[in-house]
Amino acid sequence: MIVIAHPDDEAISMAGTIFKHTEQGDSVVVMSMTNGVGSRYGQASFDVENRKQAAKLASKILGFEWGDCYNFNDNAMDSYPLIEIVKVIEKAKQEVGPTIVYTHSGADLNVDHRVVANAVLTAFRPQPNEICKELRLFEVASATDYGCEAITGRFSPNLYIDITNEWHKKVEALAAYCAEMRQYPHSRSVQSIKNLTRIRGNQVGLEFAEAFEVVRRIER
């Protein structure tokens, strides 16, 4: 299960890993807390529909399923009581029953990312009989890298997943969200994301990798 703030976060952060999961036969459910464009000026309805179509295409490319998606106000998730967000995640948790959960890092600059990270940590707190065995945080280009350690903390990866053979699928998923991509050298450009993925791979002797921070892993 992957809990994200905005549709496209899943592709930017871990498209290769998603495809690796689905190719192995794993069921991957992604839930988004906002529509990702509500805070923008101009053609809001057009932008919302465009993002929906992009999200559908990304799910088809990577083989995952969209779970419940919510319309919390984009870039304003800090305006809601945390418990309200936690409850919708707990509802999805009961429906999906995930053993591995991925979500944002609390070190991100984007406020929605930080709120979602906090809500997921709360919803999946390690109580007796918790079905989730592992909780992993991912990095999002133009969010995690824009954070300030003194203010938001630091993303500290300790898990690297080889996506050398899956890189082409990540490119396809990013292309689905072409409206959200920027020109190089913006960190949310395809080339910059490729550079980051190469760096993460090279850190552990691989060509391409996606990096994660494991919050906890429970073995019984």
Q: What is the pLDDT of residues 156-183, one digit of tens each?
A: 999 999 999 999 999 999 999 999 999 9
Q: How confident is the model at residue 142 (pLDDT cuts 50, 70, 90)?
A: very high
Full-model pTM: 0.96
Can you give the residue range of the structural domain that contains 124?
Answer: 2-217
Pairing of strands 29-32, 2-4: parallel
- The pLDDT, as a whole number, for residue 179 is 94
Q: Is the dihedral of CA 115, 116, 117, 122 positive or negative?
A: positive
- The pLDDT, as a whole number, for residue 220 is 87
Residue 1 makes CB contacts below 8 A (sequence gap 6+) with 28, 29, 30, 31, 67, 92, 93, 96, 98, 100, 101, 102
Among candidates 81, 54, 55, which has minimal Cα distance to 67? 55
- The pLDDT, as a whole number, for residue 145 is 98
| Tens digits of residue pLDDT in 55-73 | 999 999 999 999 988 989 9
Number of domains into which the chain is organized: 1
List residues bridging with 3 in a β-sheet.
31
Q: Over pLDDT 90: what percentage of the chain?
A: 91
> What CATH number corresponds to the domain at position 123?
3.40.50.10320
pLDDT reading at 184 higher than 70: yes
Distance CA 58, CA 170 (A): 9
Instruction: Please give the average per-residue pLDDT across 173-202, as a whole number.
Output: 98
| Tens digits of residue pLDDT in 114-140 | 999 999 999 999 999 999 999 999 999
Q: How confident is the model at residue 21 (pLDDT cuts 50, 70, 90)?
A: very high
Cα Rg, the chain, nearest whole Å: 16
